[in-house]
Amino acid sequence: MSGNQTTNGGLRGVWRRTYAMLVKEFLQLRRDRVSFAMIVMLPIMQLLLFGYAINTTPRNLPTAVLLQEDSDLGRSILKALQNTAYFRFTREVHSVEEFDALLESGQVLFGVEIPRGFERGVRRGDKPALLVAADATDPVAAGSALGALGQLMQSALRHDLQVGNPPEMPFEIRTHARYNPAAESRLNIVPGLVGTILTMTMLIFTALSVTREIERGTMENLLAMPIKPIEIMLGKIIPYVIVGFLQAAIIIGMGHFLFRVPILGSLGMLALLSTLFIGANLSIGYTFSTIAQNQLQAMQMAMMFFLPNILLSGFMFPFAGMPVWAQWIGEALPLTHYIRIVRAIMLKGASLVNLQYDAIALGVLMLVAMTIAITRFRRTLD
């Protein structure tokens, strides 16, 4: 009898102590508001982004048109292209040079050229060629539109052209996938990995830097030394700039020599623009480290910022296929602009003139992030 009581008492003791620990953990979780917010916000953010923002069959892609003759047939073709919902005409150019520059800068993903004498050639049965050029640095965005082009055009122009039975197009659609004609995924992924890996490592390293000093109790020692707060910050950031350059060099070098990814542009310009990108990410990571109360919170903040960078920058999913609100969020992320820069320099040989929008945007984001980081760092020390 006493043995059974001892056993029951022991079991009750186990459950009582376990319950006490359970209550303690919930109380601690409730006090740690940052961790609790991450638990709630992470699945909500993933659901909203994957449900509303991600689209693997993008529509309304920005397209330029070079109309070398103004004819009824030319206008019917442009209308038919727009009715396919894949193409949205945003620019009309007047020369081949302007046509090529828009594709090279990434301002448009497609270019349609209707040559001079096109309608007359159709009427005479010469089957003239309609040129559709595509920026294939993102093969997913370009592939779906090009793949459906012939059938959609034929269906859309059925009432404008006399077609036989079986139907036959009276002109040729000549597609040209530029910069990645074979639609090789490695040419798209490897340049994007440069920015993705830099974002992850720069954020995590710097997000932990200040909180680590505070947890170890060494921040007070640093402040007792004859050194200014800004000097502490620069001293912590500069080593990671060097680490970032080393990582970028390793990824680009391996991509070029192992995966045969071309480097058609200037490495010096890529290094200069990489400095802006690394500086922006380091400043954002430093801001997180001044907000977080411990290293776990700093890591959680870094990962919460990293998630939209991966999904909304155009690295994993076509940027042009996202809704407008998601594109606005993506434009506020440094990785979006850096991926465009790296792909354009490596695959297109783009110059700074072609990349001025993304270069300016990256510089502005770096200045904003650095200003916030310096302000937060001074407040933390005070």
Closest CA to 278 of 247, 305, 323: 247
Distance (Å, rounded) from C-alpha 58 to C-alpha 144?
A: 8
Domains and CATH numbers, the chain: 61-178 (3.40.1710.10), 185-381 (no CATH)
pTM: 0.82
User: Binning pLDDT at 50, 70 and 90, where does residue 51 land?
Assistant: confident
The per-residue pLDDT for 22 is 79
Q: What pLDDT shows up at residue 273?
A: 94
- What pLDDT does 277 receive? 94
- Count of C-beta atoms within a 10 Å radius of residue 299: 18
What are 170-228's pLDDT values in tens digits?
A: 788 888 888 988 888 888 899 999 999 999 999 888 888 777 777 776 666 766 777 77
Structural tokens at position 276: 């802006």
DSSP assignments along 72-96, one per residue: HHHHHHHHHHHHTSSEEEEEEESSH
Name the average pLDDT for the chain.
82
* The predicted structure's pLDDT at residue 167: 54
Question: pLDDT by residue (tens digit) across 64-116?
Answer: 998 888 888 888 888 888 877 888 888 888 888 888 888 988 889 999 998 88
Question: Of 46-60, 275-289, 367-381, which has the strongest mean pLDDT?
Answer: 275-289
DSSP-derived secondary structure letter, 179: S
